A and B are shown apart, each in its own frame.
Chain A
Amino acid sequence: MGLLSGPEPDVAADAGHAGPPPRVGFFTDTSVCIGCKACEVACKEWNAIPEDGLEFTGWSYDNTQALGADSWRHVAFVEQPASDGDGGIRWLMASDVCKHCTHAACLDVCPTGSLFRTEFGTVVVQEDICNGCGYCVPACPYGVIEKREDDGRAWKCTMCYDRIGGGMEPACAKACPTESIQFGPLEELRTRAATRLAQLHVAGVADARLYGDDPADGVGGDGAFFLLLDTPETYGLPPDPVVTTRDLPAMWRYAGMAALTLFGGITAVAMFGRRR
């Protein structure tokens, strides 16, 4: 069995795939996102995701609101007062997606084996296995996966498993007009992201930072990582997520002690009350 947390250089091999292709991922560079939502539309089209409500929120241009069973890409919009103090605004846009964690809590806790690790290192739900227990939903530290109300099963981004298996890039990356969404081998994306970050720092964008790129973080690094221009929580992302199963051995230990206490306590009381 593989590790529950920490760096894991070969996720697919660890999951039992023999001679897997290189792990692929997304690098979403939010500094060039123009908020066109082509990714959201392309994703819905390709994956035949049902409509899930048309609502005006008043949150800048964001009416999608969050990732969920029926939104596998979500473009966040944040309007901030510009730092020049002239009353202008800075407009942040970021296309969020399932992180395809190295240590994916959704996959770890799935009791049916419906969620699995693909040969590409991504995390996918098998819709013909999922029985809708919903355990993956509160397990995800990013709040990505969700149960679809009308069919009762859990749904999320597959990183277009059908497309990448055929040598094509995922629909969102294909549709992105600014290459804010980049798809490719994860190692290559990490190098590219580091170059881009250095470039922005030299250009004076001190707020630029990578998010989810570090294999030593709480989820072992994300398969889909980001370049952000503000703190993660500004975009609705957790600042330092940790896979819940990291602590699972300790949890079982404490539950074992509690079970022994229950057994021992009741048995001892019964023995004292024994008829002599």
Chain B
Amino acid sequence: MSESVVTREGSPRGQRPGREASPAALRGGKGSVVPDAEFTSYYGRPILKEAPWAASDIAGYLFLGGLAGASSVIAAGADAAGRRSLATVSKVGALGAIGMSTVLLIHDLGVPSRFPNMLRVFKPTSPMSMGSWILAVYGPSAGVAAATHVTRLFPRLGATSTALAALTGPAVATYTAVLLADTAVPVWHEAYRELPFVFAGSSACAAAGLALTVLSPSRHASVRVTAFLGGLLELTAARRMRRGLGFLADPYRQGRAALLTRAAETLTAAASLTAPFVRTRRAGLLCGSALLLGSALTRLSVFEAGRASAADPQYTVIPQRLRKQQQTKALPPPAT
């Protein structure tokens, strides 16, 4: 085979497998951070292995966990403000979402019957271990909060569990950003500063969206403001994240991830900007659905961008190569 003749760069002559060309940013185009970088790979093969997670399971889990976590905070606020119907929607919604997300999480395991092994150790270096313990506190709290609220039994226990769910809910919504960032996947790891804020904003939008779809406008005044602020936080953080990533953000600008990102941001922007002005039930249903869908698509876009950035070796090699060159420049030349 003629392709088996490889150049000194280690890739077949005249082509870079699995890729059309190096991204514009690399060639010194607009928004470039990397000047003409040399790139070598082993037959175009990825260096990293992609996360063996199904998008429907894990992106679904990220979305539902965020929806649940933020709903629990809204529920506690609703209790404090004396808005019972908002508390009902948020507490029942939180329980449903966390229940479903746990099912997805177990479904994605290679050996689902060994799910209890998640609580075998308490390991701060593993975001998944910490997440399991956070869920072990949050899940039952959200469950008791919903049950006591609906049945109106044990109001004291209800108040305690509502508070506990509201305190651990934000951790459920944002720890998942650490879960993704604590990997070798360039587009996730290098975004560890902004990703939790993207997820926090996206979670607030989802939880507000749920209340907007279900409740009549007179009962969700505060939630409309939450939708607006959540959208603002998510979109600002996402923009900052992509700017900070430089050329590593290219997976967000190409292919499926780009489509998902555009769809997510359009829905979130449109819905969170119009949310404060929702005055009819139908508008609430429309706006709320857009917020929920936007939040789900945000998680999917992050998930897909991560897949793409692990699959292309240039995102692994180029930043490391540049870092090494800078280190060599900083040090005096080795005595040989």
Would A275 and B321 be within 8 Å (CB), given that A112-B117, A152-B110, A258-B199 are in contact?
no
CB distance from A233 to the nearest CB of B (A): 5
- A139 contact from B3, B183, B221, Cβ within 8 A: B183
A59 interface residue (CB < 8 Å to B)? yes
Contacts of B189 in A (CB 8 A): 244, 247
How many A-B pairs with Cβ below 8 Å? 287
Contacts of A112 in B (CB 8 A): 114, 117-118, 120-121, 129
Segment at the interface with A among B24-32, B72-80, B146-154, B293-301:
B72-80
> Considering only CB atoms, which chain B residue lies closest to A110 in the complex?
B126
Contacts of B178 in A (CB 8 A): 248, 251-252, 255
- Check B6–A60 contact: CB distance below 8 A: yes
Contacts of A269 in B (CB 8 A): 77, 222, 225-226, 229
- Check A255–B81 contact: CB distance below 8 A: no
Instruction: Please report the total number of B residues contacting A with Cβ < 8 Å.
Output: 99
Contacts of B123 in A (CB 8 A): 110-111, 113
- Check A129–B127 contact: CB distance below 8 A: no
- Check A272–B196 contact: CB distance below 8 A: no
- Check B196–A258 contact: CB distance below 8 A: yes
- Check A79–B184 contact: CB distance below 8 A: no
A190 interface residue (CB < 8 Å to B)? no
Contacts of A4 in B (CB 8 A): 125
A265 interface residue (CB < 8 Å to B)? yes
- Tell me the chain A residues, 235-274 only, with Cβ under 8 Å from chain B: 235-241, 244-245, 247-248, 250-252, 254-263, 265-267, 269-274
- A259 contact from B128, B131, B173, B192, Cβ within 8 A: B173
Interface centre among A105, A109, A111 (most CB of B within 10 A): A111
State the CA gap A147–B110 with chains docked (Å): 8
Would A270 and B49 be within 8 Å (CB), given that A109-B127, A255-B177, A258-B196 are in contact?
no
State the CA gap A154–B52 with chains docked (Å): 10
- Check B196–A109 contact: CB distance below 8 A: no
Would A262 and B173 be within 8 Å (CB), given that A60-B6, A255-B196, A270-B74 are in contact?
yes
- Check B110–A270 contact: CB distance below 8 A: no
CB distance from A11 to the nearest CB of B (A): 14
Contact flags B76-119 to A (C-beta < 8 A → 1, else 0): 11101111000000000000000000000000111110110110
B253 interface residue (CB < 8 Å to A)? no
- B52 contact from A57, A147, A238, A265, Cβ within 8 A: A147
A184 interface residue (CB < 8 Å to B)? no
Contacts of A151 in B (CB 8 A): 110-111
A231 interface residue (CB < 8 Å to B)? yes
- A260 contact from B170, B183, B195, Cβ within 8 A: B170
Contacts of B221 in A (CB 8 A): 273
CB distance from A142 to the nearest CB of B (A): 7
State the CA gap A237–B8 with chains docked (Å): 16
Nearest 3 Cβ contacts at the A-B interface = A132-B110, A152-B110, A270-B77
A sample of 15 cross-chain residue pairs with beta-carbon separation below 8 angstroms, ordered by A number, consists of: A58-B1, A113-B123, A133-B128, A134-B108, A137-B50, A238-B316, A238-B317, A244-B183, A244-B184, A247-B181, A248-B182, A251-B178, A251-B181, A252-B178, A262-B204
